Structure 1
Amino acid sequence: MMAAGAFDLSGKRVYVAGHRGMVGSAIVRRLASEGCTVLTATRAELDLQDQRAVREWFAQEKPDAVFLAAAKVGGILANDTYPADFLYDNLMIEANVIEAAHRSDVGKLMFLGSSCIYPKLAPQPIEESALLTGPLEPTNEWYAIAKIAGIKLAQAYRRQHGRDFISAMPTNLYGPGDNFDLNSSHVLPALMRKAHQAKHDGAGEIEIWGTGTPRREFLHVDDLADACVFLMKNYSDDEHVNVGSGSDVTILELTEMVARAVGFDGAIVRNESKPDGTPRKLMSGSKLQSMGWHPAIALEDGIASTYRWFLDHHGEARLTVA
């Protein structure tokens, strides 16, 4: 179900949970032009794993709308090392916020998930209907199960209590505020950090794992934020919505784009003794695009602007998992 202008953010009190993260901060930037009052709370001010504290905060602040972008996140190593933390922490955050939003009669809530919710071998491009049709990728199943629970929780409150709670599933994201730690970052910021270091050190080459042929999809976080506001204003239905760019590139092509942005002109060496991972991971964006939303930031342009942000914030860039 969708109706244009169904939920007007103007004049509303809008809570962005996780406002210091890459996604949350992008949503805060995007909301600046919506004429709403943005509510935020740091972890020191509000522990989202504390049920009583969350309920009291909602009762006091009375938000009209909620973007639930707070989560414990990390790469494969972190997921594999701390499975209990990734499952428990994320379950607590989403359960406390969604229940408090219900108790406080919040007008609309959006839960932010992740493309890792889909089966490891889902048909490409991945449609929303692929959810729960096969086994998950084992390396991040703890995080994925928590995110699936969040989708189902939003659906359950819609069905049982008539709440206008929706879910959006972003693809691989990049942009300002990303994690550039080589031990825990995702592929795009990791490549950027490696290329930057190689240029700084005068190295003649950088190495990538595998053959460079796997294909991956990327979306600038400001495009995601725009899509989230679009959905908050225009979408109201049970099923989650994919948010992606609709196209993908090979890892080698991505590395070449990053090298151009950084100004690294050395060789790109493929270490084929290392694993490639999944051959392709592309989400279908047809559902969202049929509503009239399309991404605005081309990948090459987005990589260039992200590198400028990295240079400007090099001392502040988040180099470890939060």
Structure 2
Amino acid sequence: MSRQGPMKVLVTGGSGLVGTAIQQVVKEEGRDGEEEWIFLSSKDADLTNCEETLAVFHKHRPTHVIHLAAMVGGLFKNMKYNLDFWRKNVFINDNVLQAAHEVGVVKVVSCLSTCIFPDKTSYPIDETMIHDGPPHQSNFGYAYAKRMIDVHNRAYFQQHGRCFTAVIPTNVFGPHDNFSIEDGHVLPGLIHKAYLAQKEGKPLTVWGSGTPRRQFIYSLDLARLFLWVLREYPEVDPIILSVGEEDEVSIREAADAVVESLGFTGEVVYDTSKADGQFKKTASNAKLHRYRPDFQFTPFRQALKETCDWFVANYDSARK
């Protein structure tokens, strides 16, 4: 995709897991030509508020936007607050995309999630299947709000010719994640629990049976792919950013890798009274592979070890 003049990139949710990874990659790998980067956090504007969102867009007048801001949480928080997840994310997404349109942003790349896909489907899932049926009922509020970004993007393109697109990463993990045990995602929650269990000499309790399978993507790999999508990817249709199907791991395998990375020596117990969530969400990265056959993902155990080391070194300041 050709672009005119220097890029001024505004990143919403810039202080979160993916935002900090993008900051690191931009810093380490350099800017592509004349690029200015602005990373917003929730302190800069309440994106559920239309006026505040417009004001921050008028202040910075970006040419490009990476939209990461969202109300997020783990399985149990989603199950409890589906309405909140729906409303807050719909407000945020509508405000951000409309503000981008009003200030003439050339391209917006929003971040979706594989939970938007139908619950009852065939595997692997791909980009053509997003709207084929309802998502899993455990987090339907969040899933539908994210799914609607795809509808939004198509409508902006049809009515205004805007190149607003979206990426669909599989389960993201890495430094600066939310390591909350109660409402974080599975890997950071496991890392925190294993760290505490080791410290207290107690067993590590893993919620669920350990059988569900997931594809995990390291936040720094995702950040590199985000920059490629922003600079090069030409489609309005979304693209799945994921490791291949062969790299899918079970929660039990993930827990074993956490145990190994942290040097945990205690007992590991599976609490099968807790919900498992979706058994699998296997996603095809064939489209990504067509565009970027050269892309090398960080091996899972290496990425997990780096994440665990970061968490231990930054325990006092990490989100948890």
TM-score by length of 1: 0.91
Name the counterpart of 1:114.
Answer: 113
Q: Are 2:17 and 2:175, in contact at CA under 8 Å, matched by a contact in 1?
A: yes
Q: CA deviation at 1:156?
A: 1.0
Amino acid at match of 1:224: L
Name the counterpart of 1:180.
Answer: 179
Distance 2:187 2:42 in 1: 27
Name the counterpart of 2:149.
Answer: 150
Amino acid at match of 1:109: V
Distance 2:274 2:104 in 1: 51
Task: Name the stretch that deviates more: 120-129 or 108-117.
Answer: 120-129
Q: Are 2:15 and 2:40, in contact at CA under 8 Å, matched by a contact in 1?
A: no
SS of the counterpart of 2:215? strand
Taking the TM superposition and a 5 Å limit, the aligned residue runs for 1:30-69 are 30-32=25-27, 33-35=30-32, 36-69=35-68
SS of the counterpart of 1:280? coil
Taking the TM superposition and a 5 Å limit, the aligned residue runs for 1:287-298 are 287-292=287-292, 294-298=295-299
Which digits, 9 at most, give the CA deviation of each residue in 1:99-143, with x for residues without a partner? 111111111110111111001122222111111112211111000
Task: Name the stretch that deviates more: 99-108 or 288-297.
Answer: 288-297
Amino acid at match of 2:168: M
Q: Are 1:111 and 1:151, in contact at CA under 8 Å, matched by a contact in 2?
A: no
Alignment size in residue pairs: 313
Q: Are 1:254 and 2:254 matched, yes or no? A: yes
Q: CA deviation at 1:295?
A: 4.2
Name the counterpart of 2:206.
Answer: 208
Q: Are 1:236 and 2:234 matched, yes or no? A: yes
Q: Are 2:82 and 2:141, in contact at CA under 8 Å, matched by a contact in 1?
A: yes
Task: Name the stretch that deviates more: 220-229 or 22-31.
Answer: 22-31
Q: Are 1:16 and 1:27, in contact at CA under 8 Å, matched by a contact in 2?
A: no
**1:99/1:276 Cα in 2 relative to 1: closer, same or farther (>3 Å)?**
closer
**1:101/1:296 Cα in 2 relative to 1: closer, same or farther (>3 Å)?**
same
Distance 1:174 1:7 in 2: 32
Q: CA deviation at 1:84?
A: 2.6
Which digits, 9 at most, give the CA deviation of each residue in 1:210-263, with x for residues without a partner? 442221110111111111111111112131111111120112211111111000
Q: Are 2:150 and 2:238, in contact at CA under 8 Å, matched by a contact in 1?
A: yes
Amino acid at match of 2:318: A
Identity of aligned residues (%): 33
Q: Let me know the Cα RMSD of the aligned residues.
A: 1.8
Unaligned ranges ≥5, structure 2: none
Distance 1:11 1:242 in 2: 27
Q: CA deviation at 1:273?
A: 4.6
**1:111/1:60 Cα in 2 relative to 1: closer, same or farther (>3 Å)?**
same
Distance 1:88 1:310 in 2: 32
Q: Are 1:303 and 2:304 matched, yes or no? A: yes
Distance 2:250 2:80 in 1: 28
Unaligned ranges ≥5, structure 1: none
Match of 1:12 among 7, 13, 38: 7
TM-score by length of 2: 0.92
Amino acid at match of 1:197: L
Task: Name the stretch that deviates more: 146-155 or 28-37.
Answer: 28-37
Distance 2:51 2:314 in 1: 37
Which digits, 9 at most, give the CA deviation of each residue in 1:77-110, with x for residues without a partner? 3223323321111111111111111111111110
Q: CA deviation at 1:272?
A: 4.0
Amino acid at match of 1:318: R
Q: Are 1:49 and 1:92, in contact at CA under 8 Å, matched by a contact in 2?
A: yes
Distance 1:272 1:74 in 2: 21
Distance 2:40 2:208 in 1: 42
